[in-house]
Chain A
Amino acid sequence: MSTGASGFLERFEGVLGKLPGDSALRAAAAAAFRASGLPGDSRGRRIEAWKYTSLRAVADAKFQREAAPRHEAETILAGLPLLDAPRIIFVDGAWRDDLSAIAAAGFARFAQQPDFGTLTWPDREPMVALNTMLAEDGAVLDVPADHDGGVVQLVSIAASDADFHPRHSVRLGRGARLTLVEISVGQGTYLLNTVAEIHVAEGATLTHIRLQDEAASAFHVSTTYADVEAGATYDSFTLNLGARLSRTEVHAQLTGKGGAAHLNAAQLLAGSQHADFTSVVGHTAPGCQSRQTVKNVLAGKSRGVFQGKIEVARQAQKTDGYQMNQALLLSPFAEVDSKPELEIFADDVKCSHGATVGELDAEQMFYLRSRGVPEAEARSILVRAFLAEALDAVADETIRARLEAAVEGWWERQAA
């Protein structure tokens, strides 16, 4: 079995016609993927969007489809800090009815409703092309107009050393509300390559919380496209803790007057972890607001990447865009790469970004140490304070508490 791009393409040849949905679209995506290869693959072209992240390791990895999962999905599930709310569980990319608990209304599976949506660009993004080629299942969530969908949890559990390409679609009708909590975990060496397409109709609000705590040897790639209409809000927060290599890519388009997009994130990395948070906020309508606070805490030999672009189109007057990116380097071997970008074509706008990189503030350390706080504890206090600002963006206290608990777990793992 071949590895890398050709491995995926070979497998695609094998399953062509057996996968749900438009096979012409899949073939076009395969052609695009054949042309682009995996980003960072030796034969691939240099892609600016992947300047700091190479998927060479994904190309070298061997993913196998096995009949039986290697690990116990149930055990992994039991260890998750789930809320008492509806849950949709996918194991190795496949829907698990027995583990899920969700009302039938408003929920469907991609396998049954294979709609690839209209927002993605397989010809521009290699990993979207790969997903479009091989997607088998995923969640399709519809919240009708003026309906409050409450909290829904979408969980991905990887239990095999394979590659999974879930395809999710979330649509909120006018004035609808939903809090979507997405959790991805697993065991082993696998690739999770998710694509999600999100529509937030006029006046609707989607709160999208993500916790990525994949296995230490796993690869996690997630690409989200959100279309935010007039007066609607897409409020997202991503916490990246796990995976050997992760790439979280969000494209939010503000297409109606007075829309808002909040793309907040925190990444805590240690060992030789690499995490890349890349976002593009497109202001195409007037009077929209975008807010971003992205924080990286980097220990060991880890590498944190932030690429954030705010695009303001000619007609998007009165745009208000703000972006803050901060990185804390806790070790002499860690690296941070940050590229906050503004692309502005309208004149009556208020856009700014700020970025800081450094270690813990020496004066703050001294303050704590002079009050008898041991060094390790003082460091931990200051790092938590640094992170708290990012986590504050999560308004729901119960959910925030779960995220804080996940951060605690990360600290314990570091101490162990």
Chain B
Amino acid sequence: MAAVTETLDTVQSVTQSGYKWGFETTIEMDFAPKGLSEDIIRLISTRKEEPEWMLEWRLKAYAAWLKMEEPHWARVDHPPIDYQDLHYYAAPKKRAGPKSLDEVDPELLKMYEKLGIPLKERAILAGVDPDTVEDRQVAVDAVFDSVSVATTFQATLRKAGVIFCPISEAIREHPDLVKQYLGTVVPTGDNFFAALNSAVFTDGSFVYIPKGVRCPMELSTYFRINARNTGQFERTLIIAEAGSHVSYLEGCTAPQRDENQLHAAVVELIAMDDAQIKYSTVQNWYPGDANGKGGIYNFVTKRGACRGARSKISWTQVETGSAITWKYPSCVLHGEDSVGEFYSVAVTNNHQQADTGTKMIHIGKGSRSTIISKGISAGHSNNTYRGLVRMLPGAANARNFTQCDSLLIGDQCGAHTVPYIESRNPTAKVEHEATTSKIADDQLFYCRQRGLSEEDAVSLIVNGFCKDVLKELPMEFAVEAQKLLAVSLEGSVG
């Protein structure tokens, strides 16, 4: 019940304060000129002190991107994006590389403090009772705009043999691993936004878990978009060797802005035999104001390859932010008996548009996948689930279960479901269910009768509606996610 009380408190505080995470820090920024060209890509590569092969890789992606057209099949509507009117590189002005927290810009630390991310070692995230939790450790690789400024827990991780560092560092320090895996799950020419990302990505995380290692802590990255008109192009690569295990958390907030900001991230996951990767996201970037002005454009390509037998990749996402969300975390299930999971809550309010879902490509024998998607639309928003389940001829005895539920709050919003089911193996079983409904009057009545306000009642019911997904989140996120749901739906009833 504690979480519910907190949810209610949050609603209260936010009703008064508006978008709570909307502030700007005033750290000096270092910009590349606006626009995209081979020269800008060379500049990014030079700034990142990249080897020649990386520059070539980027230029190849850029050449592919130039020939591609921006996709328009998603149910999202936005003014045309002028790709030449963006900064493709922005970095906080650098001091000589910080070696410890003491050296990190105090402004930055203050900002993280405001955001509630403890950067200290042995930190336990706010809101969690230390007595009920076992000494949980969270390693944070904080991404401030384009440069990772602080990395903690390195010592513990190093002892376990885990590599967790900014991808730009990995390109320099672990070129063989990066060369071997980068772009093998999401090729440079995969889609328009992935190609763009491949050409200009400036940062992101790199994780390598050696054979048989269970990562000693949850890995967490904090993305933030902070400079005006800066597209954020993160690139994350996680490799879990045979028998290893890792849980990765990604969360993000962004300061309030008037202008739309483009974000096109690429995340690649690779799981070998018996390896497990759990990737959790809470996304609450600035969604624009109540009239649909401003907000982040979020065009993300996330894909995991279950390459090994019995490997498992699990995506959990709570998407409450962004003006536009275009995101389909997918699993390619090569391995025999490999497992893919997708748990998603997407909330849209005001004029937000979300087109999100997953792809489960079953290649290996006995591969299994589960899709649980909960979409909640309120205000004037549109919320679409778009998903693909494909059983290839070799996917004998493969199995998929999909459940997509949509909840509509108010009569000016839209909820859409677009599943694609393709099967070419008779022994593969696919089950798909989808429902659309509003909050039942009797549920609302029950809560109101017990003295809850209508808004509190709605947030309670919505949290119940999303329970199946929220319970998949690591504890640190579960609490935050519940708060977020309530905040996101603020003002949608009554």
**A residues at B contact (CB < 8 Å):** 48, 314, 317, 327, 329-332, 334-359
Contacts and interface: CB of A to CB of B under 8 A. Distances in A.
Given A355-B419, A356-B431, A335 B436 contact: no
Interface in B390-430: 391, 393, 406, 408-430
Contact of A342 (B417, B424, B430): B417
A355 B435 CA distance: 12
Given A336-B423, A347-B410, 16 more contacts: A331-B426, A338-B422, A339-B420, A340-B432, A340-B434, A341-B416, A341-B419, A342-B418, A343-B416, A347-B411, A350-B436, A355-B433, A357-B423, A357-B430, A359-B426, A359-B427
Top 7 A-B residue pairs of the complex, sorted by shortest distance between their CB atoms: A329-B426, A347-B408, A359-B426, A357-B430, A358-B429, A355-B432, A342-B417
A356 B430 contact: yes
A358 B428 contact: yes
Nearest to A349: B436
Contact of B411 (A317, A332, A339): A317
Chain A contact residues, majority secondary structure: strand
Contacts of B430: 355-358
A332 B428 CA distance: 10
Given A336-B423, A349-B438, A351-B435, A342 B429 contact: no
A343 B426 CA distance: 30
22 contacts: A317-B411, A329-B425, A332-B393, A336-B423, A337-B421, A338-B420, A338-B432, A339-B421, A342-B418, A343-B414, A344-B416, A344-B436, A347-B410, A347-B438, A348-B438, A349-B436, A352-B433, A353-B432, A353-B434, A355-B430, A355-B432, A356-B430
B184 interface: no
B423 A335 contact: yes
Interface residues of B, number: 35
A284 to B, nearest CB: 15
A332 B415 CA distance: 36
A342 B412 CA distance: 16
A342 B434 contact: yes
B437 interface: yes
Contact of A350 (B412, B433, B437): B437
Contacts of A346: 408, 411
A351 B391 CA distance: 27
B73 interface: yes
Contact of A314 (B411, B419, B429): B411
A303 B414 CA distance: 33
Contacts of B408: 344, 346-347, 349
Nearest to A307: B420
Q: Which of A48, A342, A352, A354 has the most B CB atoms < 10 Å from its CB?
A: A342
Contacts of B413: 345, 347
A295 to B, nearest CB: 14
Contact of A341 (B73, B412, B418, B422): B418
B191 to A, nearest CB: 15
Contacts of A331: 426
Nearest to B413: A347
Contacts of B393: 332
Contacts of A314: 411-412
Given A349-B436, A355-B432, A341 B423 contact: no
Contacts of B421: 336-340, 355, 357
A344 B419 CA distance: 14
A308 to B, nearest CB: 11
B76 to A, nearest CB: 14
Nearest to B433: A354
A330 B426 contact: yes
A343 B417 CA distance: 6
Contacts of A344: 406, 408, 414-416, 436
Contact of B426 (A317, A338, A345, A358): A358
A365 to B, nearest CB: 13
B434 A352 contact: yes
Contacts of A337: 420-423
Contacts of A347: 408-411, 413, 438
B434 A339 contact: no
Q: Which of B391, B412, B425 has the most A CB atoms < 10 Å from its CB?
A: B425
A349 to B, nearest CB: 6
A352 B393 CA distance: 29
Contacts of B418: 339, 341-342
Nearest to B415: A344
Contacts of B427: 358-359
A39 B473 CA distance: 45
A335 B424 contact: yes
A343 B75 CA distance: 10
Nearest to B427: A359
Nearest to A299: B426
A331 B425 CA distance: 8
Interface in B40-55: none
Nearest to A305: B422
A205 B411 CA distance: 31
Nearest to A48: B73
B141 to A, nearest CB: 39
A279 B406 CA distance: 22
A336 B391 CA distance: 10
A341 B417 contact: yes
B418 to A, nearest CB: 5
A348 B417 CA distance: 17
